[in-house]
Amino acid sequence: MTNDFDQLADIMVDWCEYDLDALGPRGAAGNAREALQCMIFTLTQDAEARRLFGGLLAEARREWIAAHPE
């Protein structure tokens, strides 16, 4: 998971470096919104980013389900 996470972060920086650099002290909500906008933009532009994100999401979901059996 770590390698995919790092690779996805690198792709996001490739697409949105300026926006991410500009985050600055906006507070948690403002920074979260900007990060989400960058992520959504990256996913619309890059198939590899979509593949990596899907894999990370599926893995996180499996881990959450395993940690929270009903």
| Top-ranked range on mean pLDDT: pick from 9-18, 29-38, 56-65 | 56-65
Q: Tell me the whole-structure pTM to 2 decimals.
A: 0.74
The pLDDT assigned to 26 comes to 65
Characterize 41-66 residue by residue with b for buried, 16 or more Cβ atoms within 10 angstroms of its Cβ, and e for exposed: ebbeebeebeebbeeeeeeeeeeeee
pLDDT at 33 over 60: yes
Query: How many structural domains are present in the chain?
Result: 1
Task: Give residue 13's domain range.
Answer: 2-67
The pLDDT assigned to 68 comes to 94
